[in-house]
A and B are shown apart, each in its own frame.
Chain A
Amino acid sequence: MATTITDVRLSALPPVTGRAGLRGVIASEFTKLRSVRSTYAAIAAAVVVSVGIAAIVGAASAAQIHHDVTNKVDFDATQASLVGFYELGQLIIAVLGALTITSEYSTGMIRTSLTAMPRRGVVYAGKLIVFTAVTLVVSLATSFISFFVCQALLSGTGVSASLSRATTVPAAQITTSGGKTALSGTLVISSGTVLTAVIGTALFVTVVALIAFGLGAIIRHTAGSITSVVGLMFVVPIIVQILPSTWRWDIMRFFPDAAGRVVSVTVGQTTAHLWSAWPQFCVTAAYAAVLLIIGACLFRKRDA
Chain B
Amino acid sequence: MIEVRGLTKRYGDKIAVDNLSFGIEPGNVTGFLGPNGAGKTTTMRCILGLDYPDAGTVAVAGQEYRGLAYPMREVGALLEAKALHGGRSAYSHLLCLAQTNGLPRRRVGEVLELVGLADVARKRSKGFSLGMSQRLGIAGTLLGDPRVLMFDEPVNGLDPEGILWIRNLMKTLASEGRTVFVSSHLMSEMENTADHLIVIGRGKLIADCTMEEFVARASGAAVRVRTPTPGPLIQALAARGMTTRVADDGSIEVRGVTIEQIGDLAYSEGIRLHELTMLRASLEEAFMELTAGSVEYHADVPGQRPGAAIGSGA
Give residues in A with beta carbon < 8 Å to B.
1-6, 8, 10-14, 16, 18-20, 23-25, 27-29, 31-32, 35-38, 103-104, 107-119, 301, 303-304
Q: Which residues of B contact A10 (CB under 8 A)?
A: 107, 110-111, 114, 142, 145
Which of B52, B65, B73, B93 is A13 in contact with, Cβ under 8 Å?
B73
Q: Which residues of B contact A38 (CB under 8 A)?
A: 87
| Bound: A153/B104 CA distance, A | 51
Chain B's closest residue to A112 (CB) is B83
A20/B97 in contact, CB under 8 A: no
The 10 closest A-B pairs by CB, nearest first: A108-B83, A35-B92, A19-B69, A28-B99, A1-B116, A117-B100, A31-B96, A27-B99, A303-B51, A36-B87
Total A-B residue contacts, Cβ distance less than 8 Å: 144
Q: Which of B17-25, B161-169, B192-200 contacts A (4 or more CB under 8 A)?
A: B161-169
Chain A's closest residue to B166 (CB) is A5
Report B247-281 CB contacts with A as 1/0, cut-off 8 Å.
Answer: 00000000000000000000000000000000000
Q: Which of B27-35, B74-82, B218-226, B233-241 contacts A (4 or more CB under 8 A)?
A: B74-82
Q: Which residues of B contact A103 (CB under 8 A)?
A: 85
Task: Return B308 CB to nearest CB of chain A, in Å.
Answer: 38
A107/B84 in contact, CB under 8 A: yes
Q: Say whether B289 faces chain A, with CB atoms less than 8 Å apart.
A: no
| Bound: A101/B85 CA distance, A | 12
Q: Which residues of A contact B106 (CB under 8 A)?
A: 11
Q: Say whether B72 faces chain A, with CB atoms less than 8 Å apart.
A: yes
B100/A24 in contact, CB under 8 A: yes
Q: Say whether B88 faces chain A, with CB atoms less than 8 Å apart.
A: yes
Chain A's closest residue to B125 (CB) is A107
A109/B84 in contact, CB under 8 A: yes
| Bound: A248/B312 CA distance, A | 81
B50/A303 in contact, CB under 8 A: yes
| Bound: A117/B101 CA distance, A | 7
A116/B72 in contact, CB under 8 A: yes
Q: Say whether B103 faces chain A, with CB atoms less than 8 Å apart.
A: yes
A3/B100 in contact, CB under 8 A: no
A13/B145 in contact, CB under 8 A: yes
| Bound: A291/B226 CA distance, A | 76
Which of A11, A18, A25, A109 is B85 in contact with, Cβ under 8 Å?
A109
* Given contacts A118-B71, A304-B50, A8 and B172 within 8 Å (CB-CB): no
| Bound: A266/B172 CA distance, A | 70
Task: Return A132 CB to nearest CB of chain B, in Å.
Answer: 18
Q: Which residues of A contact B214 (CB under 8 A)?
A: none
Which of B80, B95, B104, B110 is A8 in contact with, Cβ under 8 Å?
B110
B168/A115 in contact, CB under 8 A: no
* Given contacts A3-B165, A32-B88, A111 and B50 within 8 Å (CB-CB): yes
A118/B110 in contact, CB under 8 A: no
Chain A's closest residue to B119 (CB) is A1
* Given contacts A10-B111, A36-B88, A115 and B48 within 8 Å (CB-CB): yes
Q: Say whether B86 faces chain A, with CB atoms less than 8 Å apart.
A: yes
Q: Say whether B140 faces chain A, with CB atoms less than 8 Å apart.
A: yes
Q: Which residues of A contact B66 (CB under 8 A)?
A: 118-119
A32/B69 in contact, CB under 8 A: no
| Bound: A4/B80 CA distance, A | 22
List 4 extra interface pairs beyond A14-B104, A112-B140, CB under 8 A: A20-B70, A29-B96, A112-B97, A119-B66
Q: Which residues of B contact A104 (CB under 8 A)?
A: 85
Q: Which residues of B contact A3 (CB under 8 A)?
A: 161, 164-165, 168
Chain A's closest residue to B50 (CB) is A304
| Bound: A304/B44 CA distance, A | 13
B116/A2 in contact, CB under 8 A: yes
Chain A's closest residue to B51 (CB) is A303
| Bound: A29/B65 CA distance, A | 21
A115/B165 in contact, CB under 8 A: no
Q: Say whether B144 faces chain A, with CB atoms less than 8 Å apart.
A: yes
Task: Return A293 CB to nearest CB of chain B, in Å.
Answer: 20
Task: Return A21 CB to nearest CB of chain B, in Å.
Answer: 9
| Bound: A222/B256 CA distance, A | 61
Q: Which residues of A contact B97 (CB under 8 A)?
A: 28, 112-113, 116
Q: Say whether B157 faces chain A, with CB atoms less than 8 Å apart.
A: no
